Amino acid sequence: MKVKPVILPVVLLAACLFIACQDAVDSQLSADLKTGITDDAIVIGSSLALGGHAGYLGTQTLHGAMAYLKHINAAGGINGRRIRLVTYDDGYDPPQCLVNTQRLLIEDRVFSLFCYVGTPTTVRVLPLIEDARIPLVGMFTGANALREPLNRYLINVRASYYQETAAAVRYLVEQLNIRDIAVFYQYDAYGFDGLRGTELALKEFSLVPVSKGSYVRGTLDVEEGLDRIRASGARSVVMIGTYEPCAKFIRMARANGYHPVFYNVSFVGADALARLLGAEGEGVIVSQVVPPPEYIGSEKRLWGVKEYVDLLATYFPDDRPNFVGLEGYINARVLVEGLKRAGRNLDRESFIRAIESIRDYDLGIANTLSFSPQDHQGLERVYFTRISGGGFVLIKD
């Protein structure tokens, strides 16, 4: 008996092909979710400035994070796996950061990205993060563009520049009774974000900057901006930059008899700024998103700060404890907590869900950390410090 061939209608055939293709895509996606995971390792990748004019920021962020990760690995790792961190130097250059990130994704096949440093560099790789659907945890930047709108794959730990500048303007206006405020900023995404945050904060007091000055990232060309701000007679200068140009601005201002209240956001690199200024740094204000490493609370150092100081001494004995390194350490604490909660059978999506489950997590810094599916910024608190005697004094009022 001759059997007639079964001819599927075109619509049904197309549907079957679609289902088959979708199954293949889902299978590939499932495999990608576990990229960077082996039986005994979790591979994490980072692009950050390890040299050049922002090298201190990247190096200390990395050392603070690595001190904790080495400690975890020495204790056996996480659920039987040790963390392997692959790092590349981007020199705080956005195109190089893009190249490094492509390499981390394609060649190194990392599970997650970690501890990126800077606004212009991090913003540059956002399309890659979206396409790869890969988590990025703990950026050393408070940029609003990394917070709004909410991006599922970005895990911010620190408070934002908007929060820092809002607190600073409130302090200058309400505590110091200063209303003539200028802004000196780096002419890029980082500086624009800090400038916008300052303008929004001033608007709450029906104020605007009395003057604005800028410099190009990677240069020390601060003279034009200084001349413009000095001519305005501003009694305070909000500074959105890195340590070398900001230090030059302050030194030149004081050498020319101009003595406003200088305020810097945390990204400046407070310890490097104080070192460059020496005695000329006396009284300069820097906001921080972590407590001072020397901070004493309840007659003893906060336990999380003490752990950072002790681990840094163990694994990087030539380093001095500093704000940047402490932030890197805290980023590593968040990364590890998320990996632990995700369990042995983790993948990228379960890792993000694990991060989102963290509520009121005690880091030992007198400031608990929380995330949710609607909020990917863990910490909110801003601290104010003043350079005194080459170190930092916490402003408590």
Please give the pLDDT value at position 397. 64
**168 and 239 together in one domain:** yes
First-last CA distance in the chain: 97
201, 213: one domain:
yes
For the chain, how many structural domains are there in total?
2
| 103 and 182 housed in the same domain | no
Q: Do 118 and 219 belong together in one domain?
A: no
Give yes or no: residues 270 and 179 share one domain: yes
The pLDDT value recorded for residue 53 is: 86
Q: What's the CA gap between 189 and 170, in Å, rounded?
A: 24
Q: Which domain holds residue 194?
A: 161-288
Q: What is the pLDDT of residue 105?
A: 96
pLDDT of residue 23: 45
Tell whether 168 and 279 lie within a shared domain.
Answer: yes
Q: What ranges in the chain are assigned the alpha helix state H?
A: 10-33, 55-74, 94-106, 119-124, 126-132, 161-170, 189-203, 223-232, 243-255, 270-277, 303-315, 323-342, 348-356
Total count of residues recorded for the chain: 397
Are 167 and 279 members of one domain? yes
Cα(213)–Cα(185) distance, integer angstroms: 6
Query: In this predicted model, what pLDDT tens digit does every residue of 165-210 receive, in sequence order?
Result: 999 999 999 999 999 999 999 999 999 999 999 999 999 999 999 9
Judge whether 118 lies within some domain: yes
Answer yes or no: do 81 and 187 share one domain: no
265 in a domain, yes or no? yes
DSSP label at 135?
-
- Give the pair of three-digit tokens for residue 155: 């895990």
**Is the same domain home to 276 and 324?**
no
Tokens standing for 169? 């303007």
Give domain status of residue 262, yes or no. yes
Residues 187 and 139 in one domain: no
Check residue 396 and give its pLDDT.
80
Domain end among 246, 261, 288: 288
Low-confidence ranges of the chain (pLDDT < 70): 1-31, 295-300, 397
**Among the three residues 242, 262, 288, which one is the final residue of a domain in this structure?**
288
**What CATH number corresponds to the domain at position 49?**
3.40.50.2300
- Rounded CA separation 232/230 (Å): 5
Structural domain includes residue 193 = yes
pLDDT at residue 295, rounded to an integer: 55
Last residue of a domain, one of 288, 319, 337: 288
At 103-112, the pLDDT tens digits run: 999 999 999 9
Same domain for 137 and 197?
Answer: no
Residue 182 and residue 239 in one domain: yes
Residue 18 lies in a domain: no
